[in-house]
Structure formats: structure tokens, C-alpha cells
DNA sequence: CTGTAATTTCAGTATATTCTGAAATTACAG
DNA sequence: CTGTAATTTCAGAATATACTGAAATTACAG
């Protein structure tokens, strides 16, 4: 990794590289993205090559991947062939894109697979039980997805206000509980 | 993979194996867990070995990993050395454990790393900018974590009611918007 | 157009991860 | 205790993933 990066920025890049590799994103791509997010100015491929000390071709492939996730924007400068890349300026935009993309790539296919298995007629008791679990999974995933989609509708200003207000989500949910006539309050446990 | 498994159950196991491998869980462990979730009765290591056609030692390591995630429960039968494993009977319990464990393993260390970098004094303009992004990330992650923690408090009965009620989350958030004096409603966009 | 500075592709290599079989260890029925 | 049926460990093999450099392609300034 380049000596041009300050230790602070290096640490952050390294951390997100590690995190990425735990989330099915390869380490280098994670580092590349951290670098882009932390940079005020757009970077060109050579900047990244130099900053992270990886090969030019690796950068090219990484950028291709980040583009396919719609996590980076491509920019041109007048009278220059070179391409410059930048991450959205708003962290919440980044998170929304990540959530959206993972939904498309993993959640939707999972829901579809489960649905296909659920329309089959169970051949025996085991399949009946298995289908019941699948039904529960489908229901749960669908609901959590709906939930996150609602949250994704918020723009970062609204989210900011929510944050400043402190943990009011608990209160909202409590209210919802009452609305639903929860049994929680009455339980001795 | 064993011929004892029906095609339906096989498909499900294969799908979750693939999904697992995209989420930093190895394919085989994902398959093992799917098998356990879909089985009504607890399984012993040899059952899994046979069902998935993988080596006994691989099963042992996989189970160890699932235990470390607290995703499986160990059971003994009187007068038998053999150990039997089972997944929680409630899908929401499984999801809550997954969320909780990932929080411990990934979110908490990330928040801690960011905090450590944020207490440093920025050495130059770049670091100042980078710190600002880190601050935003920290804020966002902290808030989303709080949010999920609130949701995790719900038991599966409450969650079920919420689900049956249809998408009321949107309404709750709208209400919250009004409470916060959102600008969304006024925007021409 | 043309030349060139850029990006992309891809086959081969390096690295990391996963899996296995054999040996060591452990738990407990008898 | 002891024997044995179980689990665990771990070094090495198999596999999968990531990375590189060289060659091919592309985009555009002039």
C-alpha cells in the first residue's frame, strides 16, 4: 500500500477491505471502494493502482465490479481520455444502493426458489415439514424485505432527523404493539 | 449428495449452500444448516455426512462453526454417546441469532475502528474530509443497528401479527414523518 | 483518419480456502 | 477402570478465488 496514504486513511481502507471479504466482496474491491469514499476528488484507475499497490488490470476489474453494483459514478474531464471514478457523496445513498443490489441478487432469487418449492405437492411427511419451514422462511424474508424497502424510501435528511431524535423507534414499535394488542406486557416472563 | 434426500429438499439445500457462500459462510456449512432446519428430528454427524456426501471431519468442523454462531443446539440421548444437533424451531429465532452474531463480529468492530480513527486530530485537508465521511458512516451504522435491535426485541408472535396486518410499516413511518415535520410532502419532486 | 494514451481481456500464476483421511483424543457404557 | 464408539484435530491434497503482465481493444485528440 502506498506511502502517500496517511496512516489514518490506510487503517480505514484496510478495515473495510477485511469487512468486504467477509461479505462476499473481495478484499481489494473493498479497499478500492473505501479509498473512493474517503477521497473528495474523483480518482482515475492509476491513482487507485498507486494508492493500493495493486496491478492496473486488477483495478480495471474491480472498477467494473463496482460499476455493476452501481456504487461508483464515471466522470470525464473535457479534452482527456482518462476516466475518473467517484462514490456518492451521501453515505445513506451508498447504503441504499447496497441494500437494493443485494436484494436483487440474493433475496429475490431466494424468494423465487422458495415459491417454486412451495407450489409442489409434498410427497411425504418429511417434505410436508420441510415445506412448512420454507413457508415460514418465505414469509419472514418477504416481511423483512418490505420493512427495509419502506426505510429505503427515506432520504438522508429524514434519516438524519430520525437519528438526531435519538432512539424513538422503540417508542414507535411500542405504540404499534399496543395497536396490535400485544401479550408481551402481560407475560410473567 | 445422497439419493435419500428428495429433489425438493435437495434444491432447497443447494440454494442455501450457494447463498451462504455469497455471505461469507462456506457452501458446505450453509448446506448443513439448511438440512438441519428442514429436518424435524435432530440429526447426528453421520446423518449429515451421508445426506450431503461429505467427509465426517468436514461435518465436524462445520458443526463446530454452527455452534460458535449459536445456530444449533446439541442434544444427547440417554445411554448413547452420539451427539444430535438441531436448529431452532422458529425461523425468526434463527434470523435474530444471525443478526446478533453478525453485529458482534462485524458491526461492533467496525464502529470501534471508526471511533478510534475519529478521535485523532486530522493532519491535513484530506484527513479532515475522510474523517467527515467516517463520521457519517459511524452515525448511519449506529442508527441502523439501533433500529434492528428494536426489531429484534419482538418475539415471533408479535412479528407474525405485524405480518398479517400487511404493510403497516409504511403507515407508521409516514406518521413518524409527520411527527418530524418532513419536507418530503412539500417537495415538488 | 491516425497515433497514442487509455482501458479491457484473459491465460497463467499465486494465494487462500475448503475438504479429506489418518491419527489422536475424548466420553461413557459396561 | 477398560474397551470402544464416538468426536476432534491437522497436515496435506484438491479446489476455488484473486491477481498479474502481456496482448488486444478502444476512444478520442489532433
* Closest residue, chain B, to A156 (C-alpha): B140
What is the mean pLDDT, run by run of 10 residues, along chain A of 189 residues? 88 97 93 98 97 98 97 93 96 96 96 98 96 96 88 82 62 60 44
Which residues, other chains included, contact A70 with Cβ-Cβ below 8 Å and sequence gap of 6+?
A97, A101
Is the CB of residue B121 less than 8 Å away from at least one CB of chain A?
no
A172/B177 touch (CB, cutoff 8 Å), yes or no: no
**Interatomic CA distance for residues A180 and A177, integer angstroms:** 5
For residues B122 and B124, give the distance between their C-alpha atoms in angstroms, rounded to a whole number: 6
Q: Which three cell numbers stand for residue A176?
A: 404499534
Give the model's pLDDT for residue B169: 57
Query: What DSSP state is assigned to residue B104?
Result: I
Mutation target vs B (from A39, A147, A181; most B CBs, 10 A cutoff): A147
B114 touches chain A (CB under 8 A): yes
Q: Which pLDDT value is given to residue A185? A: 42
Taking the Cβ of residue B23 and every Cβ of chain A, the question of whether any pair is shorter than 8 Å is answered with: yes
Bridge partners (DSSP) of residue A83 are A76
Cβ distance of A180 and B157 shorter than 8 Å: no
Predicted local confidence at residue A42, as pLDDT? 97
CA distances from B80 to B48, B49, B64, B75, B84 (A): 18, 19, 20, 11, 10
Burial of A87 per CB tally in 10 Å (0-12, 13-18, 19+): buried
What is the structure's pLDDT at B184? 44
Strand C footprint nucleotides (protein C-beta < 7 Å): 5-10, 17-22, 27-30
Alpha-carbon distance values, A64 to A3, A29, A93, B154 (Å): 26, 10, 19, 41
The number of CA neighbours under 13 Å toward the Cβ of A140 is 20
Please state, in angstroms and rounded to a whole number, the distance separating the CA atoms of residues A1 and A109.
38
pLDDT-derived band at B185 (thresholds 50, 70, 90) equals very low
Could you report the per-residue pLDDT of B142-184, keeping only the tens digit for each?
Answer: 989 988 888 888 888 877 777 666 555 556 666 666 665 544 4
CA pair distance A138, A115, nearest whole angstrom: 8
Contact residues for A176 (Cβ-Cβ < 8 A; gap 6+): B162, B168, B172
Give B38's contacts in chain A (Cβ within 8 Å): 129-130, 133-134
**Domain B7-86, what fold?**
Arc Repressor Mutant, subunit A (1.10.10)
Q: Where are the domains of chain B?
A: 7-86, 91-180
C-alpha cell read off for B118: 475519529
Return residues 40-79 of A near B (CB < 8 Å): 40
pLDDT for B58-87, tens place per residue?
Answer: 999 999 999 999 999 999 988 888 999 999
Amino acid at each position: 500500500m502506498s506511502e502517500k496514504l496517511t496512516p489514518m486513511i490506510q487503517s480505514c481502507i484496510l478495515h473495510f477491505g477485511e469487512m468486504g471479504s467477509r461479505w462476499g466482496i473481495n478484499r481489494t474491491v473493498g479497499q478500492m471502494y473505501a479509498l473512493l469514499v474517503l477521497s473528495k476528488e474523483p480518482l482515475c484507475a492509476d491513482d487507485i493502482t498507486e494508492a493500493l499497490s495493486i496491478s492496473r488490470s486488477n483495478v480495471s476489474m474491480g472498477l467494473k465490479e463496482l460499476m455493476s453494483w452501481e456504487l461508483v459514478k464515471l466522470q470525464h474531464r473535457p479534452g482527456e481520455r482518462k476516466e475518473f471514478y467517484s462514490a456518492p457523496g451521501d453515505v445513506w445513498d451508498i447504503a441504499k444502493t447496497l441494500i437494493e443490489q443485494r436484494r436483487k441478487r440474493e433475496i429475490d432469487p431466494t424468494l423465487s426458489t422458495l415459491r417454486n418449492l412451495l407450489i409442489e405437492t409434498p410427497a411425504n411427511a418429511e417434505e410436508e415439514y420441510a415445506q412448512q419451514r420454507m413457508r415460514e422462511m418465505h414469509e419472514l424474508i418477504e416481511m423483512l424485505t418490505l420493512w427495509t424497502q419502506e426505510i429505503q424510501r427515506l432520504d438522508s435528511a429524514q434519516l438524519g432527523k430520525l437519528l438526531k431524535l435519538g432512539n424513538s423507534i422503540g417508542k414507535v414499535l411500542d405504540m404499534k404493539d399496543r395497536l396490535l394488542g400485544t401479550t408481551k406486557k402481560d407475560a410473567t416472563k
